[in-house]
Amino acid sequence: MRASRVDEITSALSWRERKVRESLLFATLDGIIRNPQGFIALVGLLLLIVGGVGAPLIAQHDPIAQEAAGRFLSPSWDHPFGTDELRRDLFARTLYGLRASFAVSMIGVVVGTVVGVTLGFLAGYVGGLVETGAMRLVDALLAFPGLLAALGILTILGPGVENIGIAIAFFTIPAFARLSRAQMISEKNKEYVLASRAVGASPQRMVFRHIAINAFPPLLTQMALLIAVAVLITAALSFLGLGDQPPTPSLGGLLNASRQYLREAWWYSVFPGAVFALLLFSLNLLSDAINEASNPYIRRK
Amino acid sequence: MLAYVLARFLQAIPVLILASIAVFLMLRLVPGDPATIIAGEGASDADVARIREQLGLTDSPPQQYINWLGRLFRGDLGHSFASGVPVSRVLKIAIPPTLELTVAAYLLAVVVGIPMGVLGGIKPRSVWDWLLSGYTLVTVGIPGFIFGIIMLWVFAVRLGWFPTFGEVSFFDDPLSSLRHLALPAIATGAGVAAVLARYTRTTISEVMNNDYVRTARAKGLPESRVVIRHALRNSLIPVVTVMALQVGGLLGGAVIVEQVFTRPGLGRVMVNAIQARDYLVVQSTLIILVTIFIAANLAADIAYGFLDPRVRGR
């Protein structure tokens, strides 16, 4: 029933708009929303993004000021997530922590993706020595499991949230370089690329207008998955005390601090933990949904 | 078979060399002069020169790398800058607890994950299969260290069944050691168990449709024998690769879970070393962990050859 309604609308659209609707990106987005898992993931993510981005507007209290009426106040209307050992509002701290963790993961993955995809496309397009050299470099990076690589980079650069971002970018690069190289190699000999070459398209136009768009869905799946990994690593590193230093809040830092007060204040670990779990759930479900929507072989009937 | 094992060994060597170069470069990539940073502010030129000598920074980089490898093989890892203790002694104390935790978590993951995958895979859409899906979903949202905090609260703080912190060597007091180990091992292994279960489920449900399974059933073998002797052996082959890849995640997970349960081990050593910028300690720990990871992958390749005679020919 919904499909026929969509058809009705599309038939009334102009040619250009219809082109947009037929595009891979739109089809993928449409597939995600129609998939119940994908829908839940999008709603969850949207909620968290609004909470994180809007933290200064939503939180009624300062995340750092020690201004609550008491230590370890249990959740109430004024302090939905309760207060911590230093009379700080945990709702504000959780939202600001979420904001910081999410921002650093996103920026790290986006930077790593841009570098990795460029490297992979270049290697796949040019081939030869460039390809061999780039891919050996990628192999060396892949020899380190994610968290260990991040620990190594933090040793070089020192603890800190910006450096976690750099570490995330670093372990994002090899995964994307491999994937985009494979995409480039499989796409560059297809007929539509030959056709555009035949009509005299420049290499840039070919790569960016044609190949990149077709290589996009698998990269998007990988990106959602890597953001989930990045969020996890950011939280793990700040849990270890290698991220934002107190009093700046971070999800991992909150969970670490709450550990000592399990007896006194259950809400201290439960709420930041729940927000973090929701974030991980949403990102993983989203990457599954993108994969399902963009891969016709496993698309549900 | 011997040729196959040898070939795999030879293939692992370049990877190990590349990884060791990367770890070696770590110290050279430190912004500024590492000797000056290590010596700290207000150090005399003589101190800086002494540290530079100690780090072997006076030679050419390739020479430094060779020297470093040579010392590594002799077990000379240098001295910790923070405490002055030989790094080898620090690691000798820190490695056993982490190894204990990793091995326990791994065994747990295999013992729980593979049967769970088999049960879910031989009967898709059964109760076991739904349980498996639910379990996987939960471990995706609740990573090891959060699961650890939850268990710490319920089983150690509330119920008091397990100690809340510390570690006891298995060889000193096995019972107490296991009590200290139980929760951290479950926290570290739970996610790996889910990954193994998922892979086992996929491969065994594919294998169950093969002709030889039908033949085994047709000749009247009991179902348990069909599954264990015929289906499982073949479906384990891809699982072995995943098992090796999980070693990396397991080591990383152990490092964090150790912090949750305040267990001594490599986790604490690494975190302290990073905060104190104790480069040699981190460098040595990383090279050991990466070697373990590469060795695990090598072991998986060799196990592959034993499980599947077809691989050997290639």
Give me the phi and psi of B270, to 5 degrees please.
-65, -50
CB–CB of B247/B296 below 8 Å? yes
- In B, minimum Cα distance to A144 occurs at B290
Pairwise CB contact (< 8 Å): B252 & A148? yes
pLDDT at A10 over 80: no
How many Å separate Cα A205 from the centre of its chain? 28
Burial class of residue B60 (count of CB atoms within 10 Å of its CB; 0-12, 13-18, 19+): exposed
Name every chain A residue with its beta carbon within 8 A of the beta carbon of B18: 136, 139-140, 143
Question: Residue B24's closest chain A neighbor by CA?
Answer: A152
Give the pLDDT score at A265. Answer: 84
pTM comes to 0.82
Q: Is the pLDDT of residue A3 over 60?
A: no
CA distance B225 to chain A (A): 33
B205-226 confidence digits (pLDDT tens): 888 888 888 888 888 888 888 8
**B171 to chain A, minimum CA–CA distance in Å?**
29
Q: Do B141 and A277 touch (CB under 8 A)?
A: yes
Instruction: Give the integer Cα–Cα distance in Å for B230 and B232.
Output: 6
Is A281–B140 a contact, with Cβ atoms under 8 angstroms apart? yes
Residue B289 CB-density burial (10 A; 0-12 exposed, 13-18 middle, 19+ buried): buried
Check CB contact of B243 with chain A, cutoff 8 Å: no
Residue B222 structure tokens: 């009991």
Q: pLDDT tens digit string along A24-50?
A: 667 777 778 888 888 888 999 999 999
**Predicted ipTM of the assembly:** 0.79
Beta strands, E only, B65-203: none
Among A255, A259, A271, A284, most B C-beta atoms within 10 A, so best to mutate, is A259
Nearest CA in chain B to A265: B153
pLDDT band at A174 (very low <50, low <70, confident <90, very high): confident
CB B153 to CB A159 under 8 A?
no
pLDDT band at A106 (very low <50, low <70, confident <90, very high): very high
Contact status, residue B252 vs residue A145, Cβ threshold 8 Å: yes
**Which among A66-75, B103-112, B300-309 has the top mean pLDDT?**
B103-112
Angstrom distances, CA of residue A81 to CA of A41, A59, A94, A268, A275: 23, 11, 8, 8, 11
For residue B17, give the amino acid letter.
I
Tokens of B306: 């034993």
The span from the CA of B68 to the CA of B191, in Å, is: 37
Token pair belonging to B266: 């490599």
Percent of chain B with pLDDT over 90: 7
Mean pLDDT of all residues belonging to chain B = 83
Dihedral angle computed from the Cα positions of residues A280, A285, A287 and A288, in that order, rounded to the nearest 10 degrees: 140
- CB < 8 Å from A in window 20-39 of B: 21-23, 26, 29-31
B222-263: per-residue pLDDT in tens?
Answer: 888 888 878 887 788 788 878 887 888 888 888 889 988 888
Partner-chain contact B22 A281, CB within 8 Å: no
Give the lowest-confidence range in A94-108, B190-204, B270-284.
B270-284
Find chain B residues with C-beta within 8 A of A239's C-beta. 145, 256, 259
Residue A12 has a pLDDT of 55
Residue A142 has pLDDT above 80, yes or no: no
Residue type, B284: S
Q: Is A264 on the interface with B (CB under 8 A)?
A: no
User: What CA–CA distance (Å, rounded) separates A184 from A120?
Assistant: 8
Structure confidence at residue A300 as a pLDDT band (50, 70, 90): very low
Average pLDDT over residues B6-20: 83
Contact call for residues A48 and A275 (beta carbons, < 8 A): yes
Distance of alpha carbon B58 from the chain centroid? 35
Residue A115: pLDDT band with limits 50, 70, 90: very high
A1 pLDDT higher than 50 = no
Distance from CA of A227 to the nearest CA of B (A): 13
Residue-level pLDDT at A299: 45
What's the pLDDT score for residue A248? 86
Question: Which string of DSSP letters, residue by residue, matches A70-129?
Answer: STTPPP-SSSTT-B-TTS-BHHHHHHHHHHHHHHHHHHHHHHHHHHHHHHHHHHHHH-HH
The Cα B274–Cα B270 span in angstroms is 6
A258 neighbourhood in chain B, CB within 8 Å: 149
Q: For residue B170, give the H/E element and its range.
A: none
- pLDDT tens column, B92-118: 888 889 988 999 999 999 999 999 988
- Residue A89 φ then ψ, to 5°: -75, 120
CB B243 within 8 A of CB B110: yes
Side chain identity at residue A77, one-letter code: W
Is B259 in Cβ contact with A240 (below 8 Å)? yes
Instruction: Establish, for the pair of chains A and B, how many residue pairs have beta carbons separated by less than 8 Å.
Output: 118
Chain B residues 170-189 with a CB less than 8 Å from chain A:
none
Contact residues on chain A for B15, CB-CB shorter than 8 A: 139-140, 143
CA–CA dist A113, B97 (Å, integer): 37
Task: Flag whether residue B275 sits within 8 Å of chain A, measured between CB atoms.
Answer: yes
Q: Is B142 on the interface with A (CB under 8 A)?
A: yes
Pick the range with the lowest mean pLDDT from A3-12, A38-47, B52-61.
A3-12
Q: How far is B271 from chain A (nearest CA, A)?
A: 7
Classified as helix, coil or strand, B79 is strand
Judge whether residue A69 has pLDDT over 80: no
By percentage, how much of chain B surpasses pLDDT 70? 95
Average pLDDT, integer, range A137-155: 79
Whether the per-residue pLDDT at B23 is higher than 90: the answer is no
For residue B131, give how far its alpha carbon lies from the nearest alpha carbon of chain A (Å). Answer: 17
Reported as a pLDDT band with limits 50, 70 and 90, residue A112 is: very high
Mean pLDDT for the stretch of residues A233-248: 86
* C-alpha–C-alpha distance, residues B181 and B99, integer Å: 11
**Residue A70 to chain B, least CA–CA distance (Å):** 23
Chain A: closest CA distance from residue B80 (Å) = 14
**B114 alpha-carbon distance from chain centroid:** 18
Pick the residue from chain B with its C-alpha nearest to A153: B26
Banded pLDDT at A200 (limits 50, 70, 90): confident
Least Cα separation, residue A294 to chain B (angstroms): 21
Q: How confident is the model at residue A9 (pLDDT cuts 50, 70, 90)?
A: low
Flag if B145 and A255 touch (Cβ within 8 Å): yes
Half-sphere exposure (CA, 13 Å, Cβ side) for A228?
A: 23
CB-nearest to B149 from A146, A156, A259 is A259
Helix (H, G, I), strand (E, B) or coil at A202: coil
- Tens of pLDDT, residue by residue over B121-171, are 888 778 888 888 889 888 888 888 888 888 888 888 888 888 877 777 777
Asked if A258's CB is within 8 angstroms of B149's CB, the reply is: yes
pLDDT for A23: 64
* SS3 label, residue B250: helix
For residue B23 the two structure tokens come to: 């770890």
